[in-house]
Structure 1
Amino acid sequence: MPHGPDERAARLAHLRGQRLKKGDPVALPLTMSTMFHLPGDPAGFKQYGRFSNPTWDALEEMLSHLEDAPALGFPSGMAASSAVFYALLKTGDRILLPSDGYYTTRVLSDRFLTRMGIGFDTRPTATFLDGGFDGYRMVFVETPANPSLDICDIAAVARAAHEAGAIVVADNTTMTPYGQRPLDLGADIVVAADTKAPNGHSDVLFGHVASRDTEIMAAVADWRKLAGGIPGPFEAWLVHRGLETLHVRFERMCDTAETIAPRLAAHEAVKSVRYPGLPGDPSHNLARAQMQRFGFLVGLTLASKETAERFIGECELIQPATSFGGVHTSAERRARWGDAVDDGFVRLSVGCEPTEALWAAIEQALDRATT
């Protein structure tokens, strides 16, 4: 298996070609069938659409290649996280979640896991190691956290959690396998919303689970098959197509974010900026140690709710929308969803527009928003 991101990306584009026969289509065909021709003994063959699908298989091969671990596809990022919870936890277990990460994970735990007798606690990402992990069956990290962009030391968390007997799950949605490799740092499981940058075109929901532990993957696969939390073939086909250009898009987005972040920090309309790539960011040193890139998300705080909304609405090259990771730059004021951030905090997801054109539009919008 390749080790560097460039070699990994180069081989990704040729995975399917290794098995093509003369006359086979180079592009992945879409298999939209729930039934398969199955006379006699069904063992070893495609059987039913809830069990498997050739389009899933091709996508999961790509995801496994990127993660350097077996991977399973799901209809959304939350479906992937839910499968891990329901497949591996039982009554009496307790889990630890980030208090500043994606809020839906906490809502799911509060509304549904607690009904099953599964308890949970929360802890800020920046101080996730504080207090240890005794008594937890599962420790769930999200780093950089969404939307705060705080970071925790995955390797240190994994060591301490394993000593306490806990499984470590890392949500790697914000970074993708090209930007950060939690399994290499000691995490047992990676979950991610491929809805974001891996697909990249804001037109499909998808997620995946990856792990090098065969028992974990068997349990998650059984849960998916029996509970029916399966992805659609068309959605898998779209993500397969998106993954072929992820490396190019991710590099462009990260390069632009690294250029724009210090300019934002220097603009008089911006109160503060969070970006792991900035030397003065609280997470910078740890980010340099455990991340391959600093990512494409930038958090900026403007003077007020009204200023933030005006900036987002008036920038010609910003799409006002929730979610992130698309080819187009998007932004939203995260306090509107109840996140514990300043009313003027904006999560900016840098897209694939030409860097200087994007900056010119952002600068003009900042100037207008504050006059």
Structure 2
Amino acid sequence: MTTSPQYGFETLAIHAGNEPDPTTGAVVPPIYATSTYKQDGVGGLRNGYEYSRSANPTRTALEECLAAIEAGTRGFAFASGLAAEDTLMRSICKPGDHVVFPDDAYGGTFRLFSKVLSQWGIDMTPAAVTHPDAIRKAIRPGVTKVVWLETPTNPLLNVADIAIVAQIAHDAGALLVVDNTFASPYLQQPLELGADVVVHSTTKYMGGHSDVVGGALIVRDPELADKIAYHQNAIGAVAGPFDAWLVLRGIKTLGVRMDRHSDNAEKVVEYLQRHQSVTSVLYPGIDGHPGHETAAKQMKRYGGIVSFRVSGGEKQAIDICNKAEVWTLGESLGGVESLIEHPGKMTHASVAGTPLEVPGDLVRLSVGIETVDDLLHDLDRAMS
């Protein structure tokens, strides 16, 4: 089917890249478990396929779907979110370039920039990306090539105004990259707001079932797409066909899952706001949240991630995580099951002792799609 804007999100999520198999009529794309392809003579590729690092029909189906649901022109599927980020940076930067980076970013992304890309000569400056003046101050004229956003951020749920930051980046001759993992393309469309590149860990809401690891990049500019395509093939950290098939399957139900994640999260937030041990609840859907107005402007709803801080400090936060039963103690997020974790000791341990260190009294929830009363009862028991 065409990916015309006349189609709604859920229609694109189900049909884009999912043409019925021309041989059998199967409505689900096959898993092409092949490494190579018979060529029609020397140098004669059959429909563009020669070797599965360069292209695979299952991955092509996913990449077409990714482009459609993020309102881009080309999508690229990778073996992980960090593989996507690494490939992107090597596509658009060179040694000596500079990046403005969120001051509360995901620990794995911070590790990639601070420990790996730094050895390649990429410098970065953490900045409060919720404050435009802080971004302007962090930019180095002629040197800054990328402004990197997460919005909402992980794990503090801060919200940046994508349109404003896009203008700041472009005025400085830099690209705006937005990690849209927390929101998903169902809730937020960064390319429509001026971003140049959208990044996803498709492990999370895109896959949605905690059974696959993957990453994605989506762009609009054809020249930028060609650069990424070259490096995707040259570096080779591509999504395998089975992983691509799992993500493609997950995307079909993304819209209905995100609505249920958001429904449940809102009820969890209401419970936490009333609990005597909770000192603050971090969720963009709360009227008093500093990014609420921006989130209301650029997001359809506020998503399934909730963080909160407790009066008993780190010990109580860890105790809550350990006592939960319906909430599974585990890293990652965005699956159908609810997860609970202590960022300071788990997902964000790599930023301990840096300007990005997260509070020890912080608990992060990935609210799943279970019966919400069961989630509330279990949380109440763990916090008693």
TM-score bucket of the superposed structures, by smaller chain? over 0.9
Distance in 1 of aligned mates of 2:357 and 2:186: 29
Q: Shift in Å at residue 128 of structure 1?
A: 4.9
For residue 154 of structure 1, what is the aligned residue in structure 2? 162
For residue 15 of structure 2, what is the aligned residue in structure 1? 14
Distance in 1 of aligned mates of 2:302 and 2:242: 32
- When structure 1 is superposed on structure 2, of 146-155 and 299-308 the one drifting more is 299-308
Amino acid at match of 1:270: V
For residue 49 of structure 2, what is the aligned residue in structure 1? 46
Distance in 2 of aligned mates of 1:259 and 1:202: 23
- When structure 1 is superposed on structure 2, of 68-77 and 302-311 the one drifting more is 302-311
Distance in 2 of aligned mates of 1:83 and 1:137: 15
2:69 to 66, 70, 80: 66
1:333 to 337, 342, 349: 342
Kindly indicate whether the alpha-carbon contact (under 8 Å) linking 2:12 and 2:65 is maintained by their aligned counterparts in 1: no
Distance in 1 of aligned mates of 2:151 and 2:296: 13
For residue 362 of structure 1, what is the aligned residue in structure 2? 379
Q: Aligned with 1:29: secondary structure?
A: coil
Q: 1:17 to 1:119 in 2, by over 3 A?
A: closer
Task: Give the unaligned 5+ runs of structure 2.
Answer: none
For residue 268 of structure 1, what is the aligned residue in structure 2? 276
- When structure 1 is superposed on structure 2, of 59-68 and 335-344 the one drifting more is 335-344
The residue correspondences of 1:158-169 to structure 2 (distance < 5 A) are 158-169=166-177
Amino acid at match of 1:33: T
Q: 1:141 to 1:128 in 2, by over 3 A?
A: farther
1:109 to 101, 113, 120: 113
Q: Shift in Å at residue 198 of structure 1?
A: 0.7
For residue 201 of structure 1, what is the aligned residue in structure 2? 209
Amino acid at match of 2:367: V
1:324 to 326, 333, 340: 333
- When structure 1 is superposed on structure 2, of 14-23 and 335-344 the one drifting more is 14-23
- Amino-acid identity (%): 35
Q: Aligned with 1:231: secondary structure?
A: coil
Q: Shift in Å at residue 247 of structure 1?
A: 1.2
Q: Shift in Å at residue 304 of structure 1?
A: 2.1
Kindly indicate whether the alpha-carbon contact (under 8 Å) linking 2:20 and 2:26 is maintained by their aligned counterparts in 1: no
Q: Shift in Å at residue 230 of structure 1?
A: 1.2
TM-score by length of 1: 0.94
The residue correspondences of 1:182-331 to structure 2 (distance < 5 A) are 182-302=190-310, 303-331=312-340
Distance in 2 of aligned mates of 1:95 and 1:15: 34
Distance in 2 of aligned mates of 1:208 and 1:129: 30
Distance in 2 of aligned mates of 1:250 and 1:2: 23
Distance in 2 of aligned mates of 1:335 and 1:126: 22
1:87 to 91, 113, 130: 91
Q: Aligned with 2:217: secondary structure?
A: strand
Q: Shift in Å at residue 50 of structure 1?
A: 1.1
Q: 1:20 to 1:28 in 2, by over 3 A?
A: closer
Distance in 2 of aligned mates of 1:17 and 1:215: 26
TM-score by length of 2: 0.91
Distance in 2 of aligned mates of 1:27 and 1:340: 44
Kindly indicate whether the alpha-carbon contact (under 8 Å) linking 1:304 and 1:344 is maintained by their aligned counterparts in 2: yes
> Is 2:154 the partner of 1:137?
no
- When structure 1 is superposed on structure 2, of 189-198 and 122-131 the one drifting more is 122-131
String of CA shifts for 1:190-220, please: whole Å, max 9, x gaps: 0110100110111211010001011111111
Alignment coverage as a number of residue pairs: 366
Q: 1:11 to 1:161 in 2, by over 3 A?
A: closer
For residue 348 of structure 1, what is the aligned residue in structure 2? 365
1:172 to 166, 176, 180: 180
RMSD between aligned residues: 1.8
Q: Shift in Å at residue 306 of structure 1?
A: 2.2
Distance in 2 of aligned mates of 1:16 and 1:134: 41
Larger RCO (CA under 8 A, 6+ residues apart): 2
Q: Aligned with 1:334: secondary structure?
A: coil
Task: Give the unaligned 5+ runs of structure 1.
Answer: none
Amino acid at match of 1:28: P
Kindly indicate whether the alpha-carbon contact (under 8 Å) linking 1:256 and 1:350 is maintained by their aligned counterparts in 2: yes
Kindly indicate whether the alpha-carbon contact (under 8 Å) linking 1:98 and 1:128 is maintained by their aligned counterparts in 2: no
Amino acid at match of 2:70: E
Q: Shift in Å at residue 19 of structure 1?
A: 4.8
Q: 1:329 to 1:131 in 2, by over 3 A?
A: closer
Distance in 2 of aligned mates of 1:104 and 1:316: 27
Distance in 2 of aligned mates of 1:121 and 1:189: 19
Kindly indicate whether the alpha-carbon contact (under 8 Å) linking 2:321 and 2:329 is maintained by their aligned counterparts in 1: yes
